[in-house]
Structure 1
Amino acid sequence: MPVISAPHDFNEGHLFVDLKSVLGCPLYLKCEGFNFAGSIKLKAANEMVESAEREGILKPDSVIVESSSGNLGVALSMIAASKGYTFLCVTDSRCNLSTRLLMESLGSKVHIVADLDENGGFLGTRIEYVRSLCASDDRYVWLSQYTNPGNWQAHYRTTARQIARQFPRLDVLFVGTGTAGTLMGCARFFRQWHRPVRIVAVDSVGSVAFGGEPGRRMIPGLGMSMRPPLLDESYVNEVIRVEEADTIRACHRMARRGFLFGGSTGTVVSGAAHWLARHDTRDMTAVAIAPDLGERYLDTVYQTNWVQDLFGDEILDPSHPATPFETEDPAAREADRWPQP
């Protein structure tokens, strides 16, 4: 039984859920929400803060400032409270109310931007506000999760190794893409591993992380309104884009079996299920990463009025399959294995 003195010292990284009985497809889900910050972002936040401390960038009177749609903001709020720093999170209207209240409960300040950027998102506006703060007062320290190598290095050292230890015969890994920190850390690790692993990046429709036209995105977490500076597509074998309606269906599908996961997880699981439906899964070991749990989405993804107002009444129709495996005969799937990279 661990005994800790700082909240960021605890992070359960070895819990996996076998989703085959829920989705009908052979998929193991790595659960990253079991820490005091409630998400995978604790790893990157801790690495970036400790790196800034080692380099002497953070001082006792420093004010940490970061642009975040929610989970990183919570992680930094917790770490700042533990270490005695002031933290300001710059977010936007898509940030869940419960997430905002949680950051404020931890003593952080929250600034919400309202103006869209040129790609129809809020990221550009958030970053511009952060830059203006840093220019106005040198006490502000921007960790910049979008460019900070500590973001991906944290997952290279922890997340990827935890998966490799549990699944030494891993074939395919599904990773949601926001800043691309988790994606690049895992992809770099498995590029050097003892066997080829297919890396499938999962993105939201409307995101421009991998190019394409920008569009409306209402669920925070995955997707970007700019190309992630950390992204190196040479490490990625395939990209899957998921409609937010499918994200919600996947979340509700898992919730009906007692697993309450967040919107980012719903996106990754939906993308993974559709990919697996197109391939022969016999003898395949597939893992997806679940960034967070679902409690912070009770007023959005799991709130009937919110969902129906944005996506229509039929989205929660129980007769609509949440994954292709609910209606497909497994024997009818294509017999050819996907090629190794």
Structure 2
Amino acid sequence: MPVISTPYDFHEEQLYVDLRPMFGQPLFLKCEGFNFAGSIKLKAAVEMVQSAEQEGLLTEDSVIVESSSGNLGVALSMIAASKGYRFLCVTDSRCNLTTRLMMEALGSEVRAISQEGHPQGPLGARLEYVRALCASDDRYVWLSQYTNPGNWRAHYRRTAPAVARRFPALDVLFVGAGTTGTLMGCARFFREWHRPVRIVALDAVGSVSFGGRPGRRMIPGLGMSIRPPLLDESFVDEVVRVEEADTVRACHLMARKGFLFGGSTGTVVSGATRWLAEHDAHDLTAVALAPDLGERYLNTVYQPSWLHAQYGEDVLEDAGTPAADGLTQGLAVGS
């Protein structure tokens, strides 16, 4: 049992859930939410803050500022509290109430920006606000998770090697795409590995990360309203796009078996099980990354009144059985 003095020193790297009993497909889910920040974003947050310190960008007067829909904001709040920095999270109306309260409990300031009429939606409005803020006062230090190489480097150094050690015969890795930091770090590592690994990205319908029409997205985490600056599609073999209703069904099916995961994880699992079913992949060694846990989604993904208002009264009608077909209707696959 480790003994730690700072909260970012602990991250469980070896926990996997075998999803075959639930979904009938050979899929191991790497659980990345067991740390004091509650998500995989802790790795990128640590890497980016440490890099900024090494480059002399952070001083005792600095205020770290970042645009985040939630999980990175919590991770940076925790690190800032531990290191004695001030932190300002710029978010929007999709940020879960629990997430906002967690950041504020850790001593951070949270500003939710209105995106009405902005051509690039909530993210565009947030980025515009952050740029203006930094231009107004040089005490603000923007880590910029969307462009910062520390975002992908954290997963090249930690996440992918951990998967490789546990599954030396890995055939396919499923990674959710938001800023694409996790995706790019893992893809770069496995491109250099001793055996070929198929990299499948999971994206939300309505995201424009890999092209396509922008659309409404109510569950924060995966997907972007602009093309991710970190993305290099040459490292990605396939893209699976997931409807939010399918994200919800996957979350609820796992919850019925006692596993309470977050919305980003539901998207990854829904898309991965669909891909495996379509490829008759019973002999493959497949791993998916679960970015988060479910407590921050109790008033959205796990709240019936919210679900019915967003997706209709029958959104959960297929979530009580383990049949993969019932979870993945309306899912589109592209490359």
Contact 2:253 2:320 in 1 (8 A): no
CA distance, structure 2, for counterparts of residue 298 and residue 45 of structure 1: 24
Residue-by-residue CA offset, 1:171-209 (whole Å, 9 max, x unaligned): 000000000000000000000001100000000000000
CA distance, structure 1, for counterparts of residue 214 and residue 107 of structure 2: 35
Counterpart of 1:295 in structure 2 is 295
Contact 2:172 2:286 in 1 (8 A): yes
Flag the 1:185–1:319 CA change in 2: closer, same or farther, 3 A: closer
CA distance, structure 1, for counterparts of residue 291 and residue 8 of structure 2: 16
CA distance, structure 1, for counterparts of residue 290 and residue 242 of structure 2: 15
For these two proteins, the number of residue pairs brought into alignment is 328
Deviation at 1:290, TM superposition (A): 0.2
CA distance, structure 2, for counterparts of residue 120 and residue 154 of structure 1: 28
Flag the 1:327–1:217 CA change in 2: closer, same or farther, 3 A: closer
Query: How do 1:64-83 residues align onto structure 2 when only pairs under 5 Å count?
Result: 64-83=64-83
CA distance, structure 2, for counterparts of residue 221 and residue 188 of structure 1: 22
Counterpart of 1:335 in structure 2 is none
Unaligned runs of 5+ in 1: 329-341
CA distance, structure 2, for counterparts of residue 284 and residue 274 of structure 1: 14
Matched, 1:46 2:46: yes
Deviation at 1:280, TM superposition (A): 2.3
CA distance, structure 1, for counterparts of residue 282 and residue 7 of structure 2: 42
Counterpart of 1:95 in structure 2 is 95
Residue-by-residue CA offset, 1:209-239 (whole Å, 9 max, x unaligned): 0011000000000000000000000000000
Which secondary structure state, in structure 1, belongs to the residue aligned with residue 287 of structure 2? Answer: strand
Deviation at 1:61, TM superposition (A): 0.6
Letter in 2 for 1:240: V
Letter in 1 for 2:192: Q
Deviation at 1:283, TM superposition (A): 2.0
The percentage of counterpart residues that share the same residue type is 73
CA distance, structure 1, for counterparts of residue 44 and residue 323 of structure 2: 31
Deviation at 1:318, TM superposition (A): 4.2
Unaligned runs of 5+ in 2: 329-335
Deviation at 1:115, TM superposition (A): 1.8
Letter in 2 for 1:127: L
Deviation at 1:326, TM superposition (A): 6.6
Flag the 1:323–1:233 CA change in 2: closer, same or farther, 3 A: farther
TM-score by length of 1: 0.94
CA distance, structure 1, for counterparts of residue 231 and residue 193 of structure 2: 20
CA RMSD of aligned residues (A): 1.5
Which secondary structure state, in structure 2, belongs to the residue aligned with residue 200 of structure 1? Answer: strand
Contact 1:117 1:123 in 2 (8 A): no
Which secondary structure state, in structure 2, belongs to the residue aligned with residue 158 of structure 1? Answer: helix
Runs of 4+ displaced beyond 2 Å: 116-121, 318-328
Query: How do 1:161-172 residues align onto structure 2 when only pairs under 5 Å count?
Result: 161-172=161-172
Contact 1:174 1:201 in 2 (8 A): yes
Residue-by-residue CA offset, 1:99-147 (whole Å, 9 max, x unaligned): 0000000000000011246456200100010011100000000000000
Counterpart of 1:256 in structure 2 is 256
Deviation at 1:281, TM superposition (A): 1.7
Which secondary structure state, in structure 2, belongs to the residue aligned with residue 316 of structure 1? Answer: coil
